[in-house]
Each structure stands twice: as C-alpha cells, then as structure tokens.
C-alpha cells in the first residue's frame, strides 16, 4: 500500500510537470496515457488530477508532452495529449 501511494505521487508529479511544460492552465483538459502502471495506482490519482483523464490506451488529440514512466517495465512512458 505504501509503495502504491508513492508510485501514485510520482505519477501525479510527472503528469503535473508535463502539464506545466505544455503551459496548460489548471482548468485546461488533457489526457495522460500511461503504460506499464499498476491499475490500482492509476485509480489512486484519478481524483487528484480532475482535469486530466488518466487512460491506459493511446491518447487522442495532439501529443503535447512525453516523459519516462515511474515504474520499470514495458512501455512505461507517460504521454500527455490535448483532446
């Protein structure tokens, strides 16, 4: 449980950094495509970033940011899209 909370915090930090780099306002909608992340971790952060849809599949729209994931494994990239 502690590891999952840590991973959720790291994932949230990376997504927030990508939003900042893309110059998104807090009210701007975005999609964060995450791969190789435990679904329980994803559920932990969904309510913490209300204007960013956390999805496991490929996002739709314009790719506006990309970062390495927080969990080792196949395709643990985090991609941020503007829908």
pLDDT tens string, the chain, 83 residues long: the values are: 898 888 889 889 999 999 999 999 989 999 999 877 888 888 888 888 888 898 887 778 899 999 987 665 555 788 999 98
pLDDT of residue 71: 63
pLDDT of residue 72: 57
Long-range contacts of 18-23 (CB under 8 A, 24+ apart): 18/64, 18/65, 18/66, 18/67, 18/78, 18/80, 19/52, 19/65, 19/80, 21/65, 22/64, 22/65, 22/80, 22/82
pTM of the model: 0.84
pLDDT of residue 21: 95
């Amino acid at each position: 449980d502690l590891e999952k909370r840590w991973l959720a915090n790291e994932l949230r930090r990376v997504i927030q950094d990508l939003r900042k780099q893309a110059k998104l306002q807090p009210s701007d909608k975005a999609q964060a495509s995450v791969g190789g992340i435990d679904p329980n971790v994803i559920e932990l952060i969904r309510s913490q970033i209300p204007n960013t849809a956390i999805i496991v599949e490929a996002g739709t729209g314009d790719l506006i940011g990309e970062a390495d994931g927080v969990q080792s494994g196949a395709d643990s990239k985090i991609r941020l899209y503007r829908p």
